A and B are shown apart, each in its own frame.
Chain A
Amino acid sequence: MTTIETHASGTQVRATSSDSAVGAFLVGVGAWATTTDHKRIGRLFIGCALLIAIAAAALGAVVGVERISATGYSLLDKDSVTQIFSLYRVGLSFGVMLPLLLGVAIAVVPLQVGAKTIAFARAAMFGFWMWLAGMGLAVGSTIANGGPGGGNAKMVDLFLLGMGIAVIGALAAAVSVVTTVLTSRAPGMTLLRVPMSSWSALTGGVALVLTLPVLFGTLVYLYVDHRYARVAFGGNKGVSDWMGWSLTQPQTYVYVAMGAGVLAEIAAVVSGKRQVLRPVLLTGIAIVSIASLGGATQVQHAVTWTNTSASDKVKELIPFLIFNGLPLLGVLVVLGVSLLGIAKSKPRLVPAMAPALLGLGMVLTGMVGHLVSLFGPAQLAGTVFEEGEFIYVSYGALLIGLAAVSYWGPKLWGRVLPSSAVLGISGLAFLGTVLAALPMYIAGFANQPANVANNFSYSGPQELWNTASAAGHALVAVSVLLFVLTALRAFTAGEVAGDDPWDAQSLEWSVSSPAPSNNFVSTPSVASAEPLLDIKPAGGQK
C-alpha cells in the first residue's frame, strides 16, 4: 500500500487564487497542519526541536548562573529549582535530541531510498502532532509545579499524561521511518546499499521501538499509581527515580543513534570517492544502537571492583563493556572510517562536515565520560560529572542536527545556507558545548553534587567552573538562535541551490531542488551503493 501526496498542488492553487491574505494564510496553515508530505512533516519536527533547543540551553544557563553563588538563591527559588532541572532534562532529551534527528530522518529517508513518500505518511503526521501536544502538556504542567518531584498532584498527573502522549507520537513516527527503509527501497537497493543516514535511521528507529514502549509502560504504572494510590512508586518524588533512565546515558545514545550516519554520509561526499570500508561503517552505525539494551533493562551496569575476586571483576566487566563500551566502539568506528576516507583523498569543502564531525566528537566525549563515571573507583556517582556527559551527548546531537539541516537544506528548501555562517555558528556551538560540559567534568572530580543548585562547597574554583558552564549554555542558545535566523533568511531569500550542490552520491540529489511533491517522477533503478557516481563522468572522482 502506497500513500501518495495529492494535496499540496491543489492547496497552492487555492491559496494563490484567494484574494484574502487572511484566507490564504489560513489555507496555508491548514495545509501544513494536515500535510502528508514527509518533507513538511520532517521540517515541522526540525523547526520545533530547534526552538526547544534555544529554550533548553537558556534554562541550562539559568541553572549555571544559580550555581555560581552556592550559598543562596539569585534567579530561582527553592521550589522552582526541581522544575527547572526537569524542564532542562526533558527538553533536551524529548524536545531536542529525539525529534531533531527523527525529523531529519522523516524528511530525508524516503528521498534517499528512492520512495515517492514515507510509509504511512498519516501516521508520521499523527506522530508529530502527538509529540508536540505531549511536549506541550509536559512542559506546561512542569511550569505549573508539576513534573518529577512537583508539588501540584494534578500537574504531576498531567506531566505523566503528556510524556505518554509524546512517547506514542515519537513511536508512530519511528515506525513510519523503519517501515520506509524496509519496504520502500528502489529496485536494486539492497539493505547493504542503503545510504548511511538511512541505515542509521533504520537501526536507531528500531532502537527507539525497543526502548520507548518500556518507558510508556513505566509511565502507565506511574500515572495510575500517582493518580489513585501513591503507594507503589514513591509519589511525586518517585517519578524521576522511575523514568530517570530515559533522560540519561545510555538511553540518550538511542536518541542520537538516528543521526550516527550523518557524518559518514557527508564524509563520503567530502572525499568524493566510494566508501571502500562500507560494511565496517554499517556495522559501526548499527553497534551504536546496542545502547537500547541499557534502556530496555533500565539498569546502569557499573563496575565497583571493591573487595571482589578476579572472577567477580570479570563478571562485572562484561555487561559493563557490552552495555556502555559497544556504543562507544560504534562511534569510534564511524569517526575513524570517515576520517580515513577523507585522509586518502583530496577533500572538498562541504560546510556541513564541520558540525557533523564536531557533533559526533562531542557525543564520543560524552560516551567516554559515561564509561569513566561508571567505574566505581573513580567515585563520580551523584556528581555533576554525569551532567557533563549529558551535555556533551545532547549538544553533540544538536550539532549533528545542524549539520543535517545544512547539508540537506538545498533539497528541502531549494536554497543553500552560507558556508561562512555554517562554519561560524557550528564553531560557536562547539565552543559553547565544551564550555558548558568540560567544567562539569572537572567539578565532578571535585564532588560537586548533581541536580542541586545550592548548598555545596568544595576546594577549588567552584565559581569559575559554574560561570564557565553557564556561559557555555548561553553560547549554545545564542548559536542555535543565530542558526535559526540565518536559516530563515537563507531558505527564503538566499542563494538558490542547484540540484546537486555538493556533487553527492545518493539518490536524493538526482531530483530537483527543492524536491518535488512526490519525490521521483519514475521509480529509479539502483546498481550500486553510490548510484549518482555510476552516472557521473569518471565515476564522480575529480
Chain B
Amino acid sequence: MTYALPAGPRPAPRRQLFISTAMVVVAGTMLMGGMLSVWLRFRAAAPTRPTSDGLRQIKDWLPADLKMPEVVTNVGLLTFLVMCVMVQWAAYAARRGDSKHVVSALGLTLLFGIAILNAQAAIFVQFNVGVASGAYQSMFYAIVGTLTVLIVSGLVFTVASLFKSIGGRAANTDLLNAHALYWYFLAAAYSAVWFVVFVQK
C-alpha cells in the first residue's frame, strides 16, 4: 500500500550554491589552516644556530640564499583587498538586477584575478630556490602551490559566473553571493599565508 502525503507548496529558493560553497570554504579553511599549522610546527622545532656575528642564537630554518619577493607578495595582498570590493560590487549589482554592473564587476574581478595569478608566478620565479634544496623549500612550494591552485579554481568560478551573467542570468544572487564568499575566503587564506609564510617566514 502506498501512502499519499499531501503535496506541499512550491519550496522557496534554498540558496543551494551558496550553502555548498560555504561547505567548500569550510573545507578550504581547514586545508590552509592545517597546512599553516604544520608549517608553524616545523618552524618552532627548527634547530638553532649562532648568527654570523656570533652574538645570538637564531632558528636554522630559512635557507641562507633565500630571496623572498616581498614587493610582489605585498602587491598581491593589496590586489586581494581590491578584489573583495569587486566581488561585492557584483553581488550588490545582482541584487538590483543591474546586468551591466554585474558584468563589469565580474570582468574586473577576472582581470585582478589574473593579476594575482601573475603575482603568484612571479613569487615562484623570483624565489630562486629549488624545491629539492631542503625542508623549508619543499614546504614553501607545497603551501604556496596549494594556494595557487585555490586561486585558479576561483578564476574558473569567476569565468563561469561571467558567462552566466552575459548569458542573461545576471540577477542570480545565489551564484554571485557564492562567488563573493569564495573570493573572501581566498583573501583570508592569502592574508594568513602572507603573514606566516611571506612576512614571518
Question: Residues of A with Cβ closer than 8 Å to B?
Answer: 1-2, 114, 119-120, 123, 171, 175-176, 178-179, 182-184, 186-188, 206, 209-214, 216-218, 220-221, 223-225, 228-229, 231-232, 296, 498-500, 507, 509-512, 522-526, 531-532, 535-536
- Cβ A210 vs Cβ B30 within 8 A: yes
- Cβ B138 vs Cβ A524 within 8 A: no
List 22 contacting pairs A-B, 8 Å CB cutoff, sorted by A.
A1-B16, A120-B20, A176-B20, A179-B16, A179-B23, A183-B14, A206-B26, A213-B28, A217-B146, A218-B38, A228-B132, A229-B133, A231-B135, A232-B135, A296-B34, A509-B3, A510-B2, A511-B2, A523-B9, A525-B6, A526-B8, A536-B3
Smallest beta-carbon distance B137→chain A, Å: 7
Query: A76 to B137, alpha carbons, bound, how many Å?
Result: 39
- Cβ B11 vs Cβ A186 within 8 A: yes
CB neighbours of B16 from chain A (8 A): 1-2, 119-120, 179, 183-184
Q: Most chain-B Cβ atoms within 10 A of its Cβ — which of A176, A213, A228, A296? A: A213
Smallest beta-carbon distance B114→chain A, Å: 24
CB neighbours of B131 from chain A (8 A): 224, 228-229
Q: Most chain-B Cβ atoms within 10 A of its Cβ — which of A175, A206, A526, A532? A: A175
Question: Closest chain B residue to A229 by CB distance?
Answer: B138
Smallest beta-carbon distance A110→chain B, Å: 13
Q: Is B139 an interface residue (CB 8 A)?
A: yes
- Cβ A523 vs Cβ B11 within 8 A: yes
Smallest beta-carbon distance B177→chain A, Å: 13
CB neighbours of A512 from chain B (8 A): 2
- Cβ B2 vs Cβ A214 within 8 A: no
- Cβ B38 vs Cβ A217 within 8 A: yes
Main secondary structure of the interface of B (DSSP, over half): helix
Query: A459 to B41, alpha carbons, bound, how many Å?
Result: 41
Smallest beta-carbon distance A102→chain B, Å: 15
User: Which residues of B, 123-175, contact A by the 8 Å Cβ criterion?
Assistant: 131-135, 137-139, 141-143, 145-146, 174
Q: Is B31 an interface residue (CB 8 A)?
A: yes
Closest 9 CB pairs of A and B: A525-B8, A232-B135, A187-B8, A183-B14, A214-B34, A213-B31, A522-B7, A524-B5, A217-B35
Query: A525 to B6, alpha carbons, bound, how many Å?
Result: 6
Smallest beta-carbon distance A238→chain B, Å: 12
